Structure 1
Amino acid sequence: MSATHIKNPLRLLPLLASIVAISPLAIDMYLPAMPTIAEELSTTPTAVQNSLSIYMAGYALGMLFFGPIADRIGRRRVVIIGLLGFAFFSVALAFAESIESFLTLRFFQAAISSGATVVVPGVIRDMYGRHTAKGLSYVSMIMMIAPMIAPSIGSFILHFTGWRSIFLVLAVYAVLILALVLWKLPSSMPKKKNRQWLREFANNYRSVFANKTVRLDIFTSMFATFAFFCYLTSISYLYITHFGASEKSFSILFAINVIGLFISNIINSRIVERFGSRKLLRFGSVYALFTGTTFFTVLQLDLGLYATAASIFLLLGSLAFITTNSDALVLNTFAEKSGTATAVIGTLRFGSGALAGPLLAILFDGTPSNFAWLVLGSVVLVLLMQVFNRKASHV
């Protein structure tokens, strides 16, 4: 599929964003219901919180599988499989009767849903070519609506019907998006089929990792995303438990933080054609070190809720510059293997995200200092990856 086959590529962006939004909706919508789920399933809140890390692990492994499959059988088919599977396991989750079944179903819900989302960057690459970063920014801007409203939707559903209905709503959402995919998303097939598909599967991964510049860009994206998942895992404790914010205040501050991502994506989409993804990625890496250090200092000095929220707003904005432009650079390098490249990015991202919860728990000392240290370490590693990349490319 290419831009020449689509009369107006912009019309597909809301649909592509809606597909990608499945992940933040599945992650964020049930957050307010965690205590209720723990009580009803006769388990601890910690056990339910582990479902977040399990979801990320399942998502990472799913992308590892579905990325090359999309390159082989076509993206539209993989999207359909992913949406159908997500709907099925969402319904199953609504009827879970034990924490063991809940955690198992969350893993499979994530793994199968990755089939739907892993193809989106490749579709954008086909539509926008060298302007991929601009297309990714547009999709990110639209998709940011999901994490902004997901906790509030979850709270609303929880108040009127109960936590099980949250997963039924997710299933309905997937079915609606599936209908739009069947109607609007063009078919795409690989230019050639290789009978030695297992060898091709392995060779695609090998070729992505063999490129040192791409490898460092992928690690850059991974460390930036790890910082984001540390935020996602810790933010309810930080705002509600540590600072004593109400649930309403938490929802407002959470939405404001996401606006930081939104604004950065708007700015990136406007200036990327002028400066290029490489320069903006380097800018984002330096900016992230500044915002990460600011966040670390604010928390260590305990400057209060609003100073912390402001520093997180800036931090998330800097991370948006990194992930959008690093992804674009990788995808433009491997246009014919975009599914595999996206799978590598997604697997390392969500794999690192799965480690965020356990690491935060191990380092927890009754204060948010574990969160602060992990974020600071992440942004330092982000900058180091780009320093190494610059030396490797002699730019």
Structure 2
Amino acid sequence: MNSALIPAAREGRFLLLLGALVAFGPLAIDLYLPALPAIAAGLGASAAQVQASITVFLAGFALGMLFYGPLSDRYGRRPVMLAGIALFTLASLACLLAASGEQLVLARFVQALGGGAASVLARAVVRDVYAPAEAIRKLSLMAMVTAIAPLLAPLLGSGLLLAFGWRGTFAAVLLWGIASFAVVWRRLPETLAPGQRGQLPLAAAFAAYFRLATDPLALGLLLAGGMSFAAMFAYITGSPFYFIEAQGWTPQAYSFLFAANALGIFAANFVNSRLVRQRGGAVLAGVGSGMSLLAALVLWLAIGNPAATLAVIAMLFIVVATTGLLGANCVGLLLARYPQNAGAAAALFGSAQFGLGMWASAAVAYEHAPDGRRMAGVILGCALASFAGYLLYRHAARRAG
């Protein structure tokens, strides 16, 4: 633990910066959601092709994280993070200049490869600085900052769409990348001291993944947190077309709904930061997985009923909000179990989130249908898998004593 690196007077700004770095993924996705139909029209692409730009972003994010974690355990957090942010920024420029759906999809993949560095290493930095129990609380506070991105990004994106067209959304992401690189360069210290870095060859640093992948307790946490995140991305991929096309909402009205759901993530993390010391991360993760499963079941029953729109909105709110309980607690418990491989553990957790999110997104986009049935079915499947993962974790934890 290197808490001396961060004076108490600067702790708030430190957590604010880390929360903003974790927001790379949500910001790069949520900002352009209201513009998805406009992007399809502007590039002459199909709805499925534009939705694929979300899917490949998730794939790139998941893949990039797997490299950044062990690299940072070996060489330090700061240089690896700066390299990733630089790649993200250059690819954001390519997204802005894309002339076809194929070019956009490729640029989004490269953009995600870079963006994964900031998101995963910000979590590893928390484990470097804080003890395990306090780290979960700090991760919840960071997640409250991160939740501001999906809260404001669709509203900002719809405003940029009106003022500048769909390319304005990518211009904003480009500026975000430039600003983030400058702030990290000037303000973020190296938190992993040379003596704490692995001295083994790089191949041995990647071997930490084998230990994680064969640990039932770790697998349960990865499944519980990852499938909850996947349910949210099923919602992200399907909801613009369900509400804008099938329900006839305007992009601006949809943005307000999306922001309200993001507010649920903020609220869940606020509650978690207050209760985790008394209740423990394991208990709160169980509450989140149970609530998500119940809400997903009601959503699946209600989605085909034209008179149940309010129920659909309410159940989506619960499904999205509970990712706040599962995310911070599951990753915090995982980092506490693997303190010497915090980068690899954070990377594998983030990769599981975005990798499973990719498959959920692809399942919703497959054979595009705006009626919401496929979205609700995928969300239910994800919630079931998340709850099963939590049960696996509790069973493994009891056996481990």
The interval holding the TM-score normalised by the smaller chain is over 0.9
Q: Which moved more, 1:315-324 or 1:215-224?
A: 315-324
Distance in 1, matches of 2:215 and 2:185, equals: 36
| 1:220-369 to 2 correspondences below 5 Å | 220-362=224-366, 367-369=371-373
Distance in 1, matches of 2:47 and 2:387, equals: 36
CA RMSD of aligned residues (A): 2.0
Q: Which moved more, 1:53-62 or 1:205-214?
A: 205-214
Distance in 2, matches of 1:241 and 1:162, equals: 19
Q: Which amino acid aligns with 1:127?
A: V
Q: Report the secondary structure of 1:144's partner residue.
A: helix
Aligned to 1:162: 165
Q: Report the secondary structure of 2:303's partner residue.
A: helix
Aligned to 1:73: 75
- Give the conservation status (yes or no) of the 8 Å contact 1:243–1:304: no
The answer to whether 1:171 aligns with 2:174 is yes
Measured after TM superposition, the shift of residue 241 of structure 1 is 2.2
Match of 1:108 among 100, 107, 110: 110
| 1:177-192 to 2 correspondences below 5 Å | 177-189=180-192, 190-192=194-196
Measured after TM superposition, the shift of residue 315 of structure 1 is 2.0
- Give the conservation status (yes or no) of the 8 Å contact 1:76–1:186: yes
Q: Which amino acid aligns with 2:56?
A: I
The answer to whether 1:51 aligns with 2:53 is yes
Q: Report the secondary structure of 1:245's partner residue.
A: coil
Measured after TM superposition, the shift of residue 150 of structure 1 is 1.1
- Give the conservation status (yes or no) of the 8 Å contact 2:231–2:382: yes
Aligned to 1:135: 138
CA change 1:33–1:282 in 2 (3 A) is closer
Measured after TM superposition, the shift of residue 337 of structure 1 is 1.1
Aligned to 1:2: 2
Aligned to 2:388: 384
Distance in 2, matches of 1:365 and 1:253, equals: 20
In the TM superposition, what whole-angstrom CA distance separates every residue of 1:139-171 from its partner, at most 9, and x where no partner exists? 111111111111222222222223223222212
Aligned to 2:85: 83
- Give the conservation status (yes or no) of the 8 Å contact 1:157–1:166: yes
Identity over the aligned pairs, expressed in percent?
31
CA change 1:301–1:52 in 2 (3 A) is same
Q: Which amino acid aligns with 1:110?
A: A
Match of 2:22 among 16, 20, 23: 20
In the TM superposition, what whole-angstrom CA distance separates every residue of 1:85-138 from its partner, at most 9, and x where no partner exists? 111111122222222222111110100111122101111123332212211111
Q: Which amino acid aligns with 2:55?
A: S
In the TM superposition, what whole-angstrom CA distance separates every residue of 1:187-245 from its partner, at most 9, and x where no partner exists? 13353555642331332111222322112111111111111111111111222222222
Structure 1: gaps of 5 or more residues: none
Distance in 1, matches of 2:200 and 2:24, equals: 33
In the TM superposition, what whole-angstrom CA distance separates every residue of 1:60-93 from its partner, at most 9, and x where no partner exists? 1100111111111111112211221111111122
Aligned length: 395
Q: Which amino acid aligns with 2:269?
A: N
CA change 1:278–1:103 in 2 (3 A) is same
Structure 2: gaps of 5 or more residues: none
Q: Which amino acid aligns with 1:4?
A: A
CA change 1:155–1:62 in 2 (3 A) is same
Q: Report the secondary structure of 1:391's partner residue.
A: helix
In the TM superposition, what whole-angstrom CA distance separates every residue of 1:319-349 from its partner, at most 9, and x where no partner exists? 3211221111001111221111111111121
CA change 1:25–1:393 in 2 (3 A) is closer
CA change 1:271–1:368 in 2 (3 A) is same
